[in-house]
Amino acid sequence: MLRDLEPVKLRPGPELSNPKLYTESAGRTPMSQYPDARFIKSANALSQFVADTGAEVAFAGRSNAGKSSAINVIVNRRQFARTSKTPGRTQLVNFFHLRDEQRLVDLPGYGFARVASSLRHHWADLMADYFEARKSLCGMFLIVDIRRRLTDFDRQMLGFAESVGLPVHVLLTKADKLKRGQAAKAELEVRRDLDGVASVQQFSALTRAGEDAARSQLEQFLDGNDGR
């Protein structure tokens, strides 16, 4: 199933086009809960993955859903996930050190079909290898644009996570793009749709709404508690 998913076409990271998203809110001390956070490496094959010890949480999402922006807010570092957007790295599995034996893994975005099928297959194999192999994987954040609801690709990722018993937390991001009532309606619809297979919350990288809840869910995953 995973192997049927389609990868994104390569494109430059859009971060620089909207620097507002990467500035800490006024009056906020720009302190990270992860002062030692750093990029470890990108992997293009199972053999290149970092040692499978400790705990790691994967971030997945349709391309352009807001995954990099969400990671940057949660880790509280400007342009942290930007590394994974540098041309050539968008289709790779990017490992980040959070703390000793705790990692965040930025998975390649998916959702655009106009790429060579060889690349598409390689991507799908890489994803399948990742999910099937990683013993340290203890949770997945699925980043969904609140205006788009769940896409077929998201459903496939959810199905796969469920089949390997992986707890999932859905971040309905870009919540600032909807009025409060519309956002609440969207959240309710997604909740109904998910039918208990994942927890869900609203999030905005722009206003930082939901950042504490997201971080606490990340911590629960890393501590081996899925919080459900």
CA distances from 187 to 3, 53, 136, 203, 218 (A): 29, 35, 30, 11, 20
Query: Does 225 participate in binding ligand GDP (rule CB under 6 A)?
Result: no
DSSP letter for each residue of 161-211: HHHTT--EEEEEE-GGGS-HHHHHHHHHHHHHHHTTSSEEEE--TTT-TTH
Candidates 44, 63, 151, 201: give the one binding ligand GDP (CB under 6 A): 63
Nearer to ligand GDP, 14 or 88 (CB): 14
User: Cα(42)–Cα(125) distance, rounded to whole angstroms?
Assistant: 16
Query: Does 222 participate in binding ligand GDP (rule CB under 6 A)?
Result: no
Query: Does 7 participate in binding ligand GDP (rule CB under 6 A)?
Result: no
Query: Does 14 participate in binding ligand GDP (rule CB under 6 A)?
Result: yes
Q: How far is the CB of 223 from ligand GDP (least distance, A)?
A: 26
Beta bridge partners of 60: 142
Candidates 69, 76, 91, 136: give the one binding ligand GDP (CB under 6 A): 69
HSE (side-chain half, CA atoms, 13 Å) at 26: 0
Query: Does 42 participate in binding ligand GDP (rule CB under 6 A)?
Result: no
Query: Does 18 participate in binding ligand GDP (rule CB under 6 A)?
Result: yes
Closest by CA position to 77, among listed 39, 19, 32? 32
Three-state DSSP class for residue 126: helix
User: Cα(157)–Cα(152) distance, rounded to whole angstroms?
Assistant: 9
Query: Does 111 participate in binding ligand GDP (rule CB under 6 A)?
Result: no
CA distances from 210 to 24, 63, 82 (A): 14, 21, 21
> Which of these segments, 28-36, 64-72, 128-136, 160-168, binds ligand GDP (CB under 6 A)?
64-72
Candidates 42, 68, 91, 202: give the one binding ligand GDP (CB under 6 A): 68
> Which of these segments, 97-105, 128-136, 158-166, 198-206, binds ligand GDP (CB under 6 A)?
198-206
Nearer to ligand GDP, 107 or 196 (CB): 107
Going residue by residue from 133 to 172, which x/- string records binding to ligand GDP, judged by CB under 6 A?
----------x-----------------------------
Q: What kind and span of H or E run contains 137?
A: strand 137-145
Cβ neighbour number for residue 104 with a 10 Å cutoff: 25
Query: Does 182 participate in binding ligand GDP (rule CB under 6 A)?
Result: no
The contact set with ligand GDP (CB under 6 A) reads: 14, 17-18, 21, 61, 63-69, 109, 143, 173-174, 176-177, 204-206
